[in-house]
Amino acid sequence: MKKLSYETLKEQNYSGYLLEDAPERVLQFGEGNFLRAFVDYFIDVMNEKAGFNSKVVLCQPIRSGLSDMINEQEGLYTLFLRGFQDGQEVNKKRVISCVSRCLNPYSDFEAVLECASNPDLRFITCNTTEAGIAYDPSCQFTDTPANSYPGKLTQFLYRRFQKFGQEEGKGFIILSCELIDDNGKELEKCVLKYAEQWNLGEDFIAWIKKENTFCSTLVDRIVTGYPRNEADAICEELGYKDNLIDTGEIFGFWVIEGPQSIKDEFPVDKAELPILITDNHKPYKQRKVRILNGAHTSFVLGAYLAGQDIVRDCMHDDVICGFMNKTIYDEIIPTLNLPKEELLDFASAVTERFKNPFIDHALLAISLNSTSKWKARVMPSLKEYIKRQGSLPACITASFAFYIAFFNGHTLTEDGLVASRKGNDYTVKDDKNVLEFYLAHKDDSVEDLVHAVCTNTDFWGEDLTALEGFEAAVCNYLTQIREKGTYEVMKSLL
Ligand SMILES: NC(=O)c1ccc[n+]([C@@H]2O[C@H](COP(=O)([O-])OP(=O)(O)OC[C@H]3O[C@@H](n4cnc5c(N)ncnc54)[C@H](O)[C@@H]3O)[C@@H](O)[C@H]2O)c1
Ligand SMILES: O=P(O)(O)OC[C@@H](O)[C@@H](O)[C@H](O)[C@H](O)CO
């Protein structure tokens, strides 16, 4: 079978939208599934509907990645967005043609730096996971490339400054998509730190601040990536081999914090895209992280221990879905300040999104790094609920016991901490220090384990035993989990 290329599509008389040649106006750090199903999809639609006429040059942020595969397919890949829209099942296929090529800075960093000499380049987009926006002082200006993403970006911006530093309007609009708080501002802070550390000069620092706009953004779309189980059948139907098929839900929402003038250059309205440009992205972020991600993190670990494997099946189980809804409607929403109607609409859409018949969202995938996720996504609801109601939120408190039960593994391997569900092994994945902690406490009594977890200020940034009644309530739930399982605990809370 022929592989996907412009030539293959021509031979097939492909009649969908394609943009073979256009100036590279976007540099993107990150070539993963999420960016390709979200940012690059939006750019592709802007090209088609709003004359954006831009290609995206990708830069692989770490040593291993997809650059060869992407270049072999001339940047083309097939995206499937699937789910329900207005009560109808929808399966939208689109060949994305906005990507020109993918550069690997570890084999040819100069090729990346050369992009800085392209006068058309105007946007930088990125998603380098929660780990990517980090300041690593060991990075040097002379490294080819600096290992950290902000280090690479600083090297790139310096080349731009050298080339166009005297001209106005030649800096970048930088759209950061990482799921950390204030992603754009954090990225800017790291870049400025490198500029200082590397003595790149006051003029460069002034240019960074004046000519570049670092936007913090909130992203929302469930992206499930390459459909391993269906890929052969899909390629058969497409009539070409596509190693980069990407899949996700239809829902998508991008909130960009920045000046309205961005729209003059980034025609999101003209292309009728679900992209909001606003002076404050935080309420949207809070709504999404607390409700959607918070729901995931609070029910997924208990549901996994109850025998479930994917999100959709949980939505068809009255007990688990009931537990999740109770958590959202009774314990999370009352802690948020946005208009109630908006919160309820968002929450009800979340349940529908989780039921998406096309999305097999694995509970184990969501369980990755649950310690920091529980802290960022669930703990703020716990604390705000206590502050507002003067009592403990039962489901959220139980979810902490689910988290402990899930992490109560017995053997550390290269892959993670091995634990058992109903006699079968699964692997807990989290930072090494977290896994080592749980290994050291593997044989603790309920009381000792809960006490050790609650008082681990490295995990939570504070001592959770200071929350009145919390430790005792978690002990009670963990005891019940050990006696009758997470499912019965969820049931008892409905
Ligand atoms: N998949 C989703 O539904 C979804 C939705 C919203 C946000 N996200 C977030 O997007 C991120 C990427 O998800 P994905 O599905 O594209 O995964 P992926 O594995 O397909 O891609 C990961 C990308 O991150 C880069 N990367 C990995 N570790 C890095 C590091 N230490 N420093 C710099 N770059 C690094 C990789 O090079 C690659 O480009 C995740 O952090 C996820 O939380 C995912
Ligand atoms: O992607 P993670 O691992 O940060 O979190 C798991 C899910 O909560 C997450 O992927 C959501 O589905 C996504 O954030 C929806 O936009």
Class of domain 6-279: alpha beta
What is the number of the ligand closest to the CA of 370?
A: 2
Those residues whose C-beta lies under 8 Å from the C-beta of residue 88, and which sit 6 or more positions away, are none
Fold agreement (6-279, 283-492): no
| Ligand 2 surroundings by CB, under 6 angstroms | 179, 220-222, 292-293, 296, 366, 368
Q: Which amino acid would we find at residue 59?
A: C
The pLDDT assigned to 449 comes to: 98
Please give the number of the atom of ligand 2 that sits closest to the Cα of 369: 3
Lateral strand order in the sheet of 55-59? 99-103, 55-59, 24-29, 123-126, 173-176, 213-220, 253-257, 275-278
Polymer length of the chain = 494
Atom 12, ligand 2: residue with shortest CA distance: 222
Ligand 2 center to residue 222 CA distance, Å? 7
Q: What angle do CA 202, 205, 209 make, to 5 degrees?
A: 140
- Does the domain at 283-492 match CATH 1.10.1040.10? Answer given as yes
β-bridge pairing 24-29 and 123-126? parallel
Please give the number of the atom of ligand 2 that sits closest to the Cα of 368: 3
Ligand 2 center to residue 223 CA distance, Å? 8
Pocket test for ligand 2, best of 34, 221, 222 (most atoms within 8 A of CB): 222
Ligand 2 center to residue 365 CA distance, Å? 9
What is the number of the ligand closest to the CA of 311?
A: 2
Omega cis (within 30) before 227: no
What is the number of the ligand closest to the CA of 136?
A: 1
Ligand 1 center to residue 128 CA distance, Å? 6
Please give the number of the atom of ligand 2 that sits closest to the Cα of 361: 12
Owner of token pair 């399966």 = 91
Pocket test for ligand 1, best of 79, 112, 127 (most atoms within 8 A of CB): 127
Reported for 332-337, long-range contacts at CB under 8 A and 24+ positions apart, including other chains, are 332/290, 332/291, 332/294, 332/295, 332/381, 332/396, 333/291, 334/385, 334/388, 334/389, 335/290, 335/380, 335/381, 335/384, 335/385, 335/388, 336/286, 336/287, 336/290, 336/291, 337/283
Residue ranges covered by each domain of the chain:
6-279, 283-492
Phi, psi for 393 (deg, rounded to 5): -75, 120
The pLDDT assigned to 114 comes to: 98
How many other CB atoms are there within 10 angstroms of residue 393's CB atom?
Answer: 24
Q: Which amino acid would we find at residue 173?
A: I
127 near 174, Cβ under 8 Å? no
**pTM for the structure as a whole:** 0.91
- In this predicted model, what pLDDT tens digit does every residue of 52-92 receive, in sequence order? 999 999 999 999 999 999 999 999 999 999 998 777 889 99
Q: Strand, coil or helix: what is 233?
A: helix
Joined together, the tokens standing for residue 450 give 């809960």
Ligand 2 center to residue 354 CA distance, Å? 12
Those residues whose C-beta lies under 8 Å from the C-beta of residue 8, and which sit 6 or more positions away, are 2, 240
The pLDDT assigned to 85 comes to: 79
Please give the number of the atom of ligand 2 that sits closest to the Cα of 296: 8
The pLDDT assigned to 131 comes to: 83
Q: Give the whole-angstrom CA distance, residue 278 versus residue 257.
A: 5
The pLDDT assigned to 87 comes to: 77
Ligand 2 center to residue 65 CA distance, Å? 21
The pLDDT assigned to 484 comes to: 97
The pLDDT assigned to 130 comes to: 81
- Give pLDDT < 50 ranges for the chain: none
381-to-108, 330, 331, 374, 440 alpha-carbon distances in Å? 46, 11, 7, 10, 29
Those residues whose C-beta lies under 8 Å from the C-beta of residue 164, and which sit 6 or more positions away, are 119, 170
The pLDDT assigned to 84 comes to: 85
Pocket test for ligand 2, best of 38, 366, 372 (most atoms within 8 A of CB): 366
Atom 38, ligand 1: residue with shortest CA distance: 32
Pocket test for ligand 1, best of 40, 42, 129 (most atoms within 8 A of CB): 129
Q: Give the whole-angstrom CA distance, residue 350 versus residue 251.
A: 10
Instruction: For residue 8, give the H/E element and its range.
Output: helix 6-11
Pocket test for ligand 2, best of 35, 220, 296, 315 (most atoms within 8 A of CB): 296
Secondary structure of 418-450 in HEC code, one letter for each residue: EEEECCEEEEECCCHHHHHHHHHCCCCCHHHHH
| Ligand 1 surroundings by CB, under 6 angstroms | 30-34, 60-62, 65, 127-132, 149, 179, 219, 221-223, 225
